[in-house]
Amino acid sequence: MANETPDRDATPTGPNERVTPGEASSHGGGFSYPGGPYPGSYGTAQYPQPNAPWPGPVTPPPGRRRSARMAAFGLVGALLAGGAGGALGYSLAESRDGGASNGVLGSPLPPIDGTAPMSPVEAVAERVLPGVVQLRVDSGGSSGEGSAMVLSADGLLLTNNHVVEAAANRGRVTAVFQNGDTAQAAIIGRDPSSDLAVIRAQGVSRLTPIELGNSDSVRVGQQVVAFGAPLGLGGTVTTGIISALNRPVSVGGDQGASEATVLNALQTDAPINPGNSGGPLVDMQGRVIGINSAIATTGQQGGSIGVGFSIPINQARRVAEELERTGKASRAVLGVSVGDDPQVSGARIQSVAPGSAAEAAGIRAGDLVIGFDGQRILAGDGLQAAVRSRAPGQVVEVQLADRSVSVTLGAAS
């Protein structure tokens, strides 16, 4: 699985082919194309060579003058008929120059129907697009692009940490709004462990905030719409469905971070590409249920293959509130190290930290975690992602292979 980075077709054209004297060649069933190997020939018929002298008059042999004259008259008649036909064709063509074509090209365009009802996706796009922002990030000799969403009328924006992290040290972030206006944005706070960041556009007002939904109510198969600036194409709208819930996804760590970010993500087949990061994933009421953050690809230069991942908005909301208020966010911990057991599904506890939430709840090394607060745990990364999606101090039920325990989650120091 490849991780999405913040930044990270041409229409085939060809020459019009013409057949000119002396350049014909046989092709297939006798069609002629430029570049022939033997000028002047077409099958068994011979064509005059370019610039060759025209032969002089031919005297018919004795006894054949009458037939020659008849042939000549026939030739004159054919020329006259051809000339009349050409004149008629030219006249008809000329008469149509200023008139309407008999085909569809001459038909008038249908009138614009301002009363036609909007489709559901159109209605969602009209509602959400004003609250979607394109971000341009510059840091030294490198640059990148991403997306964000408006949280407040005075310029508070939510995006991914990996979109703006390059500008954290004397870089620059520029916000581009749907009406084309731009503003410099300052980083308010970043949280690499959740891959979220809050920034503020400077000197703006009367922006249109997005509406938050409830990601706990999302169902597999429901229709969703993704917004953002894939490959720098701002204001892009794509549609799809929710493909899976609670999908553990490792998206790599912040520069200098000690561990990778593992998301408990919503999976969607709505096309998401580099540049969509930080943009909203919304339901059919236009309410944000996730933040587009990562994609799976089949190669180093791959784009969307219909496997995209979004941070659930309920998790993002808590982190964003803390980032706005304090500039940093807290993170829940269970206090265990885990591994995978090839014989069974679940997260095998390898060790328990002294004084941790897990120790207080009676979790021991060797226990197999198969569920976390109602979520099925299939492997170690699933448990890690589930813990990180919760808040410190939250009480959760942990299902072990032989029992269940109640755990009050701790906070990372």
Residue 91's contacts (CB-CB under 8 Å, 6 or more residues apart) are none
Q: Which one of 147, 162, 215, 310 is the catalytic residue?
A: 162
Structure tokens at 232: 């720098």
Quick check: is 162 catalytic? Answer: yes
| Cβ neighbours, 10 Å, residue 251 | 24
The CA-atom distances, in angstroms, between 84 and each of 71, 78, 88, 89, 94 are 20, 10, 6, 9, 15
User: Are 410 and 356 spatial neighbours (Cβ–Cβ below 8 Å)?
Assistant: yes
Q: Which one of 194, 277, 293, 304 is the catalytic residue?
A: 277
Output the CA torsion 187→3→5→301 (10° steps).
180
Alpha-carbon radius of gyration of the chain: 36
Quick check: is 27 catalytic? Answer: no
Q: Name the residue among 146, 130, 145 with its Cα closest to residue 178.
A: 130
Instruction: Determine the length of the chain.
Output: 413
C-alpha 147: how far from chain center: 12
CA 258/CA 255 separation, integer angstroms: 9
216: β partners: none
Quick check: is 277 catalytic? Answer: yes
Q: Which one of 7, 195, 269, 367 is the catalytic residue?
A: 195
* Residues designated as active site: 162, 195, 277
